[in-house]
Every structure is written in structure tokens, then in C-alpha cells.
Chain A
């Protein structure tokens, strides 16, 4: 076998691998979106039809169901608040860890980062019991607080590296320019890590938006439930309205996909800089 053929085979296998992975990722998405545009009988046609007359009926149904819109609104509020709180706490913490040397700095960093690896279900019961004691079940604040356990470590983990890659000389120049510590953080370092901030915000946002487990247990009430749990609520009856489930799922997934596309450039760079030169 000549090296050229070997090379061609290698490239072919590489391409084939990518196609397999893509299909595995994209097919469920396709199935969800396609299903949301079908009628119930169409959805269950065997073999599935590649072409059909798309209908928005499922979306009309989902939106008409006031629960879906309210759930989307709840999700939006919880997600934005959780992300905002996570950034407000996590970013200065990351800056402190990146720039100051103090006793226990490594330990704190390690504690943050390992928190992130916590298996969510492990702490679910204690959280449920605590929230119940405090009469905080069905309170969105509970979700916002609980999400910090995952968001703050994520933000710290990402932002410590970001701040470390800002040259110290820049901050020293600012010091000579007469800026105080807080001004240096706010006006010099922070603007230089905006890509990292965007990535942190979107990743934490996706986490909060996607969460089903905590939301299902801690805020099950109709008034306060979030979007991922709403699709689940259809699964109770005799017949499951699959197109409506798919339409709701599509509505819930869309922001995640848009967020992912918005930051893919930075994530592809391995979350390292590029902004600071």
C-alpha cells in the first residue's frame, strides 16, 4: 500500500468518524424538531416519512397551554438571576485567587473546582429537606441558590485562568497611572476577559436552563415550575401528545443551541484567551 493510499484511507476513516458522531448528535435533534412539525399519526408512521406537510399545530397547542409560556418565563427569570448571582460572586473570587497569594489559596481553588464534580443527586435529598424546613419549596429563590453550587465553581474555574493570562505588567502600569485595586479590576482586567465572561455566563446559563432534577423536586408547583419540567407533565395522561412534547422541547432547547453557537468560537479555542494580546 502506497503512503498516498494509506493517507487517503486515514482521511476517509476520519471523515466517517465525524459523520457518525454528527449523526448521533444531530439525529435526536432532527427527530425532535421534525416531530414537533408533525401530527400524531404522521409521527408514528412506519417507516417514517422523509417528506410530509409540516404543521405548526403542535406549537399552537403548546403556546395555547398557558403553562408552557409561564414555565418558559420562570426558566428565564431563574436562569438570568442564577447566572447574574454566580458571576457577581464568582468573578471577583476568581480574580482574588488569580492575583493575590494568600494562605490556603490552592485549597480554596481545589474546593471550588471539586464542588463542580459533585453528583447532583447526592445532595438532592438534603437540599429538599432543608428547603422544606425553611418553607422554601416552590420558591424560585431556592433554585437560584442551589444552582450556585454548580455555577460558582464553574465561573471560578474558568475565570481564574482568564485573569491569570492578563499580564501583571498591565495592572502595574494601571497602578502607576493611579488606579486603585478595584478600578484596576473593573476597568483593566475585566474588559480583557470578556470572552471568558461570555463563556462562563452561557455555560452556567445552559446548566440552569437545562436543570430538570432540582426543578422537578424543589419547584414542582404549576406557578413556579420551569420549562424542562413542563414537557414531563404531559407524560401523565392516557395518550401522550408527542408532537406537543416535541414542540415544547424544541422551544426549551432553542436558547441552549443559540447560546452554544454564540460561544462555540471561544470554546473551540479550548477556553483559553485570544482576547488578551
Chain B
């Protein structure tokens, strides 16, 4: 069993605190992904789990053992580095088995594990090569192979795919998910690619400036972001944000005025809101309606197209509202609109989010019903 408990971890470099009181648990066998903007502390947190970095405060418990003061090798974790960190002077086979040799594992056992890992990763024919004779994807596999043979309870990955080209990235993503299914080990994965996060994670930890913004299953974060940051960070293209004025607060929700005058009642609770105040309205590009459906929505706003991207299966319309705020609409299929044209865009009240002045998401009065 290799569940991880991160308990009130704080870390500072000099006067600069990079992790603030981080607490959460990772279940045994879970695939957990850290995302967040550059510099938010993802790598630092991962390295703290690995034992390569010492926290100033807090505890790390892996598999029920407090490993806070243990050296990396004793923690039962394996790490795949962004730069792969293969030993340049050793062959692929030596790279993979070196740790086992150092730890005096029985040679027959080493051979068996090497074979199994090489077969699984399809690198059998590369075993005698040196790292510099490998492509990026092959190096990545070797790095993964090196971690697999140690049979760790926990795998740690720091942006392992960021040096690969787009196509290979998609392929390796699928392979890592398959690997996780096969090994059933706990995996902690750092990325700032939210597609990787969404597709691979059982749960995502969103970090920002060394603090946890939200933890949850990918779709849970997508549908129920707790704050404006998570709402804007998860999803591509990003959620649209419009600054709106509160008209009234009632049992039915919060009524706000959209750019151009239409009013709409968003079914969320706003106990602390007063009419005349400002809130931010968030709505995902795919929840805005274009074309014939727009008229049936709760309200329409006029949007002047600045760019229409036709991707075949879907169309992205980038435009501005009457107030000059940028907006993206995503529509499946094709769309006749063109550049500079002003089109009506339908807004469905039940799919809108409201964020108060502190960026907190206001609770919906009833679960949002997302279109299938």
C-alpha cells in the first residue's frame, strides 16, 4: 500500500515562501496530477515528496510511514525527470538496472525485471545503446523503465512529456495511462498542460502561488470550479468572464445586467450581494449559443466577430461584446458567420457562474444541468 499523506507542508527559499501549508491525501493506486501556472510550486512539492527537497514544516507519510526525514532512496518512490536524467556513460540496460545493482538485488532477478520492463516499453532492441543514440521518446521510455524495475509504491513524474513533439506526447500519454492501469501503483504527475491533467488524472490538484486552489476529479473541477482561478485555468478555450452589475438578489438567484442591457437571473445564492455591486459572470465557450438556438436562450448579447476559426468538427468564434470584452464561442459543426459581422449570442442562465469580488464561485441553487 502506498498512499501518500501530505500534512501541512511549508517550504521557503530564504524569505520566499513557495509552498504554504499544503495538506492533502493521495489514495493508494491513484493517479494524481498537479497543475498550475509556472512557478506555482508543482516541482517543489513533487521533489519534497521524493525527498530531494526538505520542507521547513510539515510531514510526508508514504504507505503509513513518516518519511519526512528519510533519504530519497528509502522512500519507495521512483521519479521520472523532465530531462530524463539518464546516465550518459551507461547503456540503456545499465541505466535501467543500475539502481538494482547498487542495492544488491539478485542478478537473475535483475535480468528478469529488465526483460519485463523492456518488453512492456518496447525497448528491447535498444538495450545496448547509449542515451545519446536515442530519440526523445525512446529516452523517455528508458527513464520510465528505470523507475519501473525498482517496483516502487509511488511514481513521481515531473513534466515527463514536455520535451516531446505533439504527436508523441499524445501517444505517450495513452501509454502512461495504460501503464498506470497495469501496475496499479500510485502516480503523482506534474504538468502545466491541462489536457494532460484532464485526460490522465483520477484527481487534479490545482496549485497557485504555493497554495492549493482546488482538488477534485477532472470533470468536477471543470463543472464546479470553486473560484475564478480554477474556472479560468481548467478548460480550453478558457471560460469567458464578463464584468456585470447586480440588479437584484432573490430566491430565484442573482439578477445581473449583461452588456447591451439584457437582464438574466443566474440561479446561484448570493447572500452577501447587494444590488448595484459588481460581480463577474463566467460562461464556457461551448455553453454560449449561436445560430438558430440563440433565440431560445434566456438572453441574447451582440458579439462582433474578430476571428472565426473553422476547425471542421467545430468552429470557434472570437469576438467582443458591446463593452469591448473579449469572448469566445464554440460551436460544434460549421458556422456561416464571418469576420466583423455582429451576431446574436444566446446565454443560458443555468449554465452561468458568478464570482464575487474575492473570486469565489457562488453556490448554485440546484445542480447545473449541462447539455449532453
A178 and B52 form a contact (CB under 8 A): no
List B contacts of A192 (CB < 8 A).
Answer: 88-89
List A contacts of B83 (CB < 8 A).
Answer: 167, 169
Report how far A215 CA is from B86 CA in the complex, Å: 47
Contact of A172 among B81, B102, B131 (CB under 8 A): B81
Taking the complex as formed, is A20 at the interface, i.e. its CB lies under 8 A from any CB of chain B? no
Taking the complex as formed, is B204 at the interface, i.e. its CB lies under 8 A from any CB of chain A? no
List B contacts of A275 (CB < 8 A).
Answer: 88
Interface residues of B in 76-112 (CB under 8 A from A): 77-79, 81-83, 85-89, 98-99, 102-103
A277 and B52 form a contact (CB under 8 A): no
List B contacts of A178 (CB < 8 A).
Answer: 73, 99, 102-103
Among the interface residues A173, A188, A191, which one has the most CB atoms of the partner chain B within 10 A? A173
Contact of B87 among A175, A176, A183, A188 (CB under 8 A): A188
Binary contact track B36-66/A, C-beta < 8 Å → 1, others 0: 0000000000000010100000000000000
Interface residues of A in 240-277 (CB under 8 A from B): 275-277
Report how far A205 CA is from B79 CA in the complex, Å: 42
Report how far A186 CA is from B65 CA in the complex, Å: 32
Question: Which residue of chain A is the closest to B143 with respect to CB atoms?
Answer: A173
Report how far A66 CA is from B73 CA in the complex, Å: 60
Closest CB-CB distance, B142 to chain A, in whole Å?
12
A176 and B132 form a contact (CB under 8 A): no
Taking the complex as formed, is B277 at the interface, i.e. its CB lies under 8 A from any CB of chain A? no
List B contacts of A174 (CB < 8 A).
Answer: 87, 98
A176 and B50 form a contact (CB under 8 A): yes
A169 and B99 form a contact (CB under 8 A): no
Question: Which residue of chain B is the closest to A170 with respect to CB atoms?
Answer: B85
B89 and A176 form a contact (CB under 8 A): no
A179 and B102 form a contact (CB under 8 A): yes
Among the interface residues B78, B82, B99, which one has the most CB atoms of the partner chain A within 10 A? B99
Contact of A176 among B72, B88, B131 (CB under 8 A): B72
Taking the complex as formed, is A177 at the interface, i.e. its CB lies under 8 A from any CB of chain B? yes
List B contacts of A183 (CB < 8 A).
Answer: 102
B77 and A176 form a contact (CB under 8 A): yes
Report how far A178 CA is from B78 CA in the complex, Å: 11
Closest CB-CB distance, B85 to chain A, in whole Å?
4
Taking the complex as formed, is B184 at the interface, i.e. its CB lies under 8 A from any CB of chain A? no
Taking the complex as formed, is B71 at the interface, i.e. its CB lies under 8 A from any CB of chain A? yes
Report how far A98 CA is from B63 CA in the complex, Å: 36
List A contacts of B146 (CB < 8 A).
Answer: 173, 177
Interface residues of A in 183-200 (CB under 8 A from B): 183, 188, 191-192
Binding site for A on B (CB under 8 A): 50, 52, 71-73, 77-79, 81-83, 85-89, 98-99, 102-103, 131-132, 146, 150
The 10 closest A-B pairs by CB, nearest first: A177-B99, A178-B73, A169-B85, A173-B85, A191-B89, A169-B81, A176-B72, A277-B132, A178-B103, A178-B102
13 contacts between A and B (CB under 8 A): A169-B82, A169-B83, A173-B85, A173-B86, A173-B87, A176-B73, A177-B99, A178-B99, A178-B103, A183-B102, A275-B88, A276-B88, A277-B88
